[in-house]
A and B are shown apart, each in its own frame.
Chain A
Amino acid sequence: MQNAVKSDEAERAIRTVIYDRVGKSVVDSVSVTSSDDAIGEPSFFVTVYLKNGRDRPKAEKTIEMIKAMRDALFDLDDDRFPHLSFRAPEDEESEDTRPER
């Protein structure tokens, strides 16, 4: 498969899946970036910024969404895996563990 040839089209396809499945009214924004994942394989990182954490989908729906994104990417001959995560204003970020420089 030819990766990164049609990145704009791939990003559009990903956004379409997200808005269709999560619902436009609960989504604040969607970020789609492309880079190697921790294993070293070319991937998409999709972050859905929700207006409210109570609209975070259940795991079953999240897996369904990744499957739908993969299908849409497959149709574009793009085999990058779409890693999906959600963010909401009330999310609790972990502490910063870096020592002071």
Chain B
Amino acid sequence: MWKFVSDQLDNAELLATTGSTRPRQAALRRAVSTAYYALFQALCELAASQLVGWKQPWEAFTPIYRSLDHGHARTVLTETRGKRHALGEAVEKVGIAFRELQDAREWADYNPEPHPDPEKALADVRFSRQDALELIQIARQALLSLDALDDHAKLRLATLLVARRRKETRR
């Protein structure tokens, strides 16, 4: 696992566990956002390291790293053929984690309501330390699944994450 992303998750955990009394909502929200970005950046790294390689100059590596798009990554990771993902069960599980984390991050960064679940927000149930820790663990699990992919699956996933279908590029 890329040290940068495992450090990101350590940071997220630090934020989620800080304070002995009632956790600060700002800290929990930052923890969730950081956990999502750890997974997103792991995907960016996977694409750039598979398609370019760390040994290549930054001018080749960085554009591929930066080419990933949040919405396209979600489509690539969550689209299935019937019940199953074309790249297998491990990628399907990464997709499930990505979807959970992306939704939570959208709430954490942009929504003033106290919980990502609208019904809970309506009932004034607030996001908890344990909710944040659960999402961090989900991100950690997704990173392990990504790491465990064989080279062929990594390369196929990297290509899909960077390439746009013709229909998408015409938009």
Q: Which residues of A contact B (CB under 8 A)?
A: 31, 33, 35-39, 43, 45, 47, 53, 56, 58-60, 62-64, 66-67, 70-71, 74, 81, 83-88, 91-97
Contacts and interface: CB of A to CB of B under 8 A. Distances in A.
Nearest to A69: B96
A13 B111 CA distance: 30
Interface of B: 22-26, 28, 82-83, 92-93, 96-97, 99-100, 102-104, 106-107, 110-111, 114, 116-120, 125-131, 134, 137-138, 140-142
Contacts of B82: 74
Q: Which applies to chain A's interface (DSSP): helix, strand, loop or mixed?
A: mixed
Contacts of A74: 82-83
A99 B127 CA distance: 18
A88 B128 CA distance: 10
B25 A94 contact: yes
6 nearest interchain CB pairs? Answer: A59-B137, A38-B106, A59-B141, A94-B25, A45-B117, A93-B126
A94 B137 contact: no
B129 A91 contact: yes
Interface of B: prevailing SS: helix
Contact of B134 (A37, A64, A86, A94): A86
Contact of B106 (A39, A53, A84, A91): A39
Nearest to A90: B130
A39 B110 CA distance: 11
A94 B128 contact: yes
B97 A96 contact: no
Given A38-B106, A59-B140, A63-B93, 7 more contacts: A31-B119, A45-B120, A86-B134, A91-B129, A92-B128, A94-B22, A94-B114
Contacts of B103: 37-39, 43, 83
A91 B82 CA distance: 37
Contact of A96 (B102, B126, B129): B126
B92 A67 contact: yes
Max chain A C-beta neighbours (<10 A), residue from B82, B129, B137? B137
A86 B125 CA distance: 13
